[in-house]
Amino acid sequence: MKIPFLDLKAQYDSIKPEIHAAIQQVMDSCAFAGGPFVRTFEKQFATFCGCDHCMGVGSGTEALWLTLLALGVGLGDEVITVPNTFIATAEAVSFCSATPVFVDIDEKTYTMDPQKLEDYLQIRLKFGASHLTPRPKAIIPVHIFGQTADMDSIMFIARKHGLYVIEDACQAHGAEYKGRPAGSMGDAGCFSFYPGKNLGAYGEAGAVTTNTADLAEKITILRDHGQTKKYYHERIGWNARMDGIQGAVLSVKLKHLPAWNRARREKAMMYNDLLSGIDSLILPYAADDANHVYHVYAVRTQQRDALLKYLADENIYCGIHYPVPVHLQTAYSNMGVKNNNLKVSERVARELLSLPMYPELTDKQQIRVKEKIQEFLSI
């Protein structure tokens, strides 16, 4: 039995006729770049996220980048985020000529620790307030693995210090915090529809959600070369439009997303039941007020690398999210360590192992994963 880490084919097979019909419609109307299929999806996704506005863009990375640009983040600004994320969160900051700054995560949820955020801002208020040093301007909490960050605490701290909040919701389509959807709590929410995400396109795509009309308008202009009218350019923008085919595919898949997210939660509960007897394994923690959508189901063990290899030899394929925290990546090695207290992020990067997780995963597969983990740990 081979158990892949992801099974995009199984999902495609389950919705093939709908997908083909939707793509055929785009082909027939030749609305390939932006256009009506993208606009329809934007309306549907805004509603899904409980937001007034949604702007489709080319990727999650562009969603983050254009949002920062639209908020006026640039040279001389700091943007505070966490190191245990996909590098795009920090890259978007760097591509605005701003400086990413990292604060540590909570050891249970793996999301930004609000106390560490507040501590950092207090230190900056005391010692860092000079016109020569960058100023904190925005915070990007990451809803890592499909669980929202502690948004009430983060929003409270952000408002106290006059900072913007951009939710990196690239792994959290449909997740909720105290009943509020991911992407609806900060100034903006950024989503990726990379094929492997809970809501994945058949190519690259992303979106920004917001309740602020002014921000929505700025992003709409920025993603289309800064133009308000064809060939009349108000500011320097970029080509960051979503493809028509991706809009049509995403509209079809969005209808299935609630059921797929429910299935992921059921698979997570099943793993929890199966694995709870194994003492040396730390299972994912879902906060009471979070509706976790398990983009990733990650366990922790000090024998992570050996277990990964053992399972791969048994045709069970796992992932590591992420092996190197962003502040330790070669790409960021010139930053100088501004904030040395990132021990939790560094520790979990050595211990986290992502097990196979997708709505189509079968009971049999999950039982086999458990048996092989048990076998390894009892050697």
Ligand X SMILES: *Cc1c(COP(=O)(O)O)cnc(C)c1O
Query: Which residues contact ligand X by CB under 6 A?
Result: 59-61, 85-86, 88-89, 142, 168, 170-171, 192, 194, 206
Q: Angle 13-16-19 (CA atoms, 0-180°, nearest 5)?
A: 140
Pick 60 or 275: Cβ nearer ligand X: 60
CB of 82 to ligand X, least distance (A): 10
**Angle 20-245-297 (CA atoms, 0-180°, nearest 5)?**
85
Q: Which position has the token pair 């009943």?
A: 179
Q: Which of 95/317 has CB closer to ligand X?
A: 95
The one-letter amino acid code at 312 reads A
Nearer CB in complex with ligand X: 61/366: 61
In this structure, what are the phi and psi dihedrals at residue 57, rounded to the nearest 5 degrees? -135, -175
Q: How far is the CB of 303 from ligand X (least distance, A)?
A: 26
In degrees and rounded to multiples of 5, residue 170 shows phi and psi of: -65, -20
Q: Exposure of 239 by Cβ count < 10 A (0-12 exposed, 13-18 middle, 19+ buried)?
A: exposed
* Residue of this chain nearest to ligand X (CB atom): 60
Q: How many CB atoms lie within 10 A of CB 126?
A: 8
Closer residue to ligand X in complex, CB, 124/284: 284
H/E run at residue 124:
helix 114-127
SS3 assignment, position 17? helix
Query: Cβ 203 to ligand X, closest distance in Å?
Result: 10
Nearer Cβ to ligand X, position 11 or 61? 61
Residue 67 or 366 having the CB closest to ligand X:
67
Q: Which residues pair with 139 in a beta bridge?
A: 80, 165
Whether 133 contacts 78, CB under 8 Å: no
Q: Taking the complex as a whole, how short is the minimal distance between the CB of residue 92 and ligand X, in angstroms?
A: 8
What separation, in Å, do the N-terminal and C-terminal C-alpha atoms of the chain show? 22
- In angstroms, what is the minimal distance from the CB of 245 to ligand X? 16
Backbone angles phi, psi at 33, to 5 degrees: -115, 115
Which residues face 224 on adjacent strands?
Answer: 239
> Helix H segments across 162-243?
213-222
CA–CA gap between residue 237 and residue 239 (Å, rounded) = 7
State which residue, 171 or 246, has the beta carbon closest to ligand X: 171
Q: Which of 374, 353, 367 is nearest to 299 (CA)?
A: 353
Min CB(57)–ligand X separation in Å: 9
State in angstroms the smallest separation of the CB of 183 from ligand X.
13
**Min separation Cβ 318 and ligand X, Å:** 17
Name which of 138 and 274 has its Cβ closer to ligand X: 138
